[in-house]
């Protein structure tokens, strides 16, 4: 049987570049029902379902698309919720082009199904419906009355907590910050992931019975040992990112040189873009250099632009091909006018007498042999040094795993860079303590952290049932 497949995906409407650089509102606007149905009709409903294998949390993608086509939106979102507790978020920030969509059968004939956009449509639709409905209180009779502590309210912790709550455990999430969501609120900007959406998704977890405690940094006021003493039967550590990496070049501590973590935290979590209505300030540079080529670098560059920068340079030592950022984010950054300085590496930052950054000295690079990451490693071009005038620098070259738990938990084994040692299921060197997400892998994606949280929830259930 020959099936005619529409080769081109239904495009998603978005704010035009010249408008969006003046606001912090979301850039892609999402599908409406008509667009979603049209896109869903492109799916071949193939038997092989490679997309499910491509999904880190194994959503039954063809099944939800089938329900969507039949306009059974409730069934469609239920299918997604079976595997993914935060679809509004993953529909927006998952790198689908490297996961489910990369292996889509339709890709052999044209553009793959825009699975992420369909997921987002269903999740947003569901969220909107729920606003008008009363929350269903979880059935207390199925509760196991077993307490499990979750350290950190980022994607790993939220997923683990949701899965455990669904299974009847009393999941209590401890968060150091005053707001819930971890990297979803401090790291990813409003224009890519609106904070109201994160809040709404977390409210759904509260409806599931998950409890949250803010201002509770495990490792300081309470330790892992204290949690066990307080009757928690198992602990999941999803503490996330830690201290930012710097290159170790001169001038990195000048005023006006930020780590991306600090810059984004000030703007996203502390709402410094609304200063002085909000109390936290941030420098609004006119000529800004962002160092790095990942999603965080793109987020930083685009944020600087929205804060009013006249010119934003993105300095990356390899070529565009090696950039770890999502392709669509690179495209949007280019559309917005970010000046990509590829095969370029900073050598030092030069400040004025007040210690404020004024210039960055760079060097041209060329690509040599592949390194450990498999990417061609950049080699300096002799005599190619040049200067760029700047008044703000944002260093976005990754971070180490959060160090607090590992420094304050005797017996917890860690790896060279401070990553907590954990097996496939997240089990650490301490019985009953599981870990997942960036604190185990180092900086990765929201969805891999969610995958880890989900795996650990299953492992915790197994551990607790065997322990009895």
Partner 1 sequence: MFKILDKYILGPKMHYVLMEAPLIAKKAKAGQFVIVRVREQGERVPLTIADFDAKIGTITLVFQEAGKTTHLLAGMNKGDCLLDLLGPQGNPTEIINYGNAVVIGGGIGVAPIYPLARALKEKGNKVTSIIGYRSKDHIFWEDKMKAVSDRLIIATNDGSYGKKGFVTDMFKELAQGGEKVNIVFAIGPAVMMRAVAEMTRPLGIKTVVSLNSLMVCGMGMCGACRVEVGGKTRFTCMDGPDFDAHQVDFDLLMKRLDTYKNEECTCQK
Q: How far is the CB of 360 from partner 1 (least distance, A)?
A: 17
Residue 243 lies near partner 1 (rule: CB under 8 A): yes
Angle at 188 between CA 183 and CA 194, to 5 degrees: 110
Among 78, 97, 98, 275, interactor with partner 1 by CB under 8 A: 275
Residue 221 or 379 with smaller CB distance to partner 1: 221
* Dihedral pair phi/psi, residue 221, rounded to 5°: -65, -40
- Calculate the alpha carbon distances from 443 to 28, 124, 240 in Å: 25, 27, 8
33-40 and 61-69 helices cross at what angle (nearest 10)? 120
CA–CA gap between residue 452 and residue 457 (Å, rounded): 9
Q: How far is CA 413 from the centre of its chain?
A: 26
* String of contacts with partner 1 for each residue 70-99, x by CB under 8 A: ------------------------------
Neighbours of 115 (CB within 10 A): 27
Residues 158-177 that bind partner 1 (CB under 8 A): 176-177
Residue 255 lies near partner 1 (rule: CB under 8 A): yes
Residue 402 or 456 with smaller CB distance to partner 1: 402
DSSP state for residue 269 in the 8-state scheme: I
Angle at 441 between CA 164 and CA 261, to 5 degrees: 95
Residue 20 or 283 with smaller CB distance to partner 1: 283
DSSP state for residue 420 in the 8-state scheme: B
Q: How far is the CB of 448 from partner 1 (least distance, A)?
A: 19
CA–CA gap between residue 102 and residue 48 (Å, rounded): 14
Residues 310-369 that bind partner 1 (CB under 8 A): 354-356
Residue 228 or 275 with smaller CB distance to partner 1: 275
- How many residues in total does the chain contain? 468
CA–CA gap between residue 149 and residue 171 (Å, rounded): 6
* String of contacts with partner 1 for each residue 404-443, x by CB under 8 A: x--x------------------------------------
Q: How far is the CB of 296 from partner 1 (least distance, A)?
A: 13
Residue 74 or 214 with smaller CB distance to partner 1: 214
Q: Binding residues for partner 1, per CB under 8 A?
A: 176-178, 186, 214-217, 220-222, 240-244, 246, 248, 252-256, 258-259, 261-262, 265-266, 270-271, 274-281, 283, 354-356, 399, 402-404, 407
């Amino acid at each position: 049987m020959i099936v005619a497949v529409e080769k081109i995906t239904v495009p998603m409407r978005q704010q035009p570049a010249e408008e969006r650089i003046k606001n912090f509102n979301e850039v892609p606007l999402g599908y409406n029902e008509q667009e979603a149905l049209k896109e869903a009709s492109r799916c071949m409903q193939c038997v092989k379902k490679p997309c499910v294998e491509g999904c880190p949390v194994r959503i039954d993608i063809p099944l939800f698309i089938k329900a969507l086509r039949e306009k059974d939106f409730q069934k469609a979102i239920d299918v997604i919720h079976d595997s993914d507790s935060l679809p509004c978020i993953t529909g927006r920030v998952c790198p689908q082009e490297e996961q489910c969509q990369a292996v889509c059968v339709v890709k052999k004939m044209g553009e793959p199904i825009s699975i992420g956009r369909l997921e987002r449509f269903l999740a947003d639709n569901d969220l909107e419906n729920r606003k008008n409905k009363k929350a269903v209180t979880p059935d207390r009779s199925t509760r196991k009355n077993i307490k499990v502590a979750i350290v950190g309210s980022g994607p790993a912790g939220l997923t683990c907590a949701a899965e455990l709550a669904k299974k009847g455990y009393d999941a209590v999430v401890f968060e150091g910050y005053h707001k819930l969501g971890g990297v979803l609120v401090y790291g990813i900007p409003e224009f890519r992931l609106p904070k109201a959406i994160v809040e709404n998704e977390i409210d759904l977890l509260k409806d599931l019975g998950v409890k949250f405690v803010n201002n509770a940094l495990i490792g300081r006021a309470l330790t892992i040992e204290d949690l066990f003493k307080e009757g928690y039967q198992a602990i999941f550590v999803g503490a996330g990112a830690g201290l930012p990496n710097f290159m170790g070049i001169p001038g990195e501590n000048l005023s006006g040189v930020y780590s991306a973590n600090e810059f984004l935290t000030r703007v996203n979590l502390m709402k410094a873009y609304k200063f002085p209505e909000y109390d936290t300030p941030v420098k609004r540079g006119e000529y800004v250099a962002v160092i790095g080529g990942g999603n965080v670098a793109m987020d930083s560059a685009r944020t600087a632009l929205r804060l009013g920068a006249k010119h934003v340079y993105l300095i990356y030592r390899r070529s565009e091909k090696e950039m770890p950022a999502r392709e669509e984010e690179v495209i949007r950054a280019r559309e917005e006018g970010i000046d990509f300085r590829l095969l370029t590496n900073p050598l030092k930052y030069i400040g004025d007498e007040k210690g404020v950054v004024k210039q960055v000295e760079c060097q041209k690079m060329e690509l040599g042999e592949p390194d450990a990451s498999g990417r061609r490693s950049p080699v300096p071009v002799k005599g190619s040094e040049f200067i760029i005038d700047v008044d703000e620098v944002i260093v976005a070259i990754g971070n180490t795993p959060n160090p607090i738990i590992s420094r304050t938990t005797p017996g917890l084994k860690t790896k060279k860079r401070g990553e907590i040692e954990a097996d496939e299921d997240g089990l650490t060197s301490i019985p009953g303590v599981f870990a997942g997400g960036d604190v185990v892998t180092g900086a990765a994606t929201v969805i891999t952290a969610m995958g880890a949280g989900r795996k650990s929830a299953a492992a915790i259930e197994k551990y607790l049932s065997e322990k009895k």
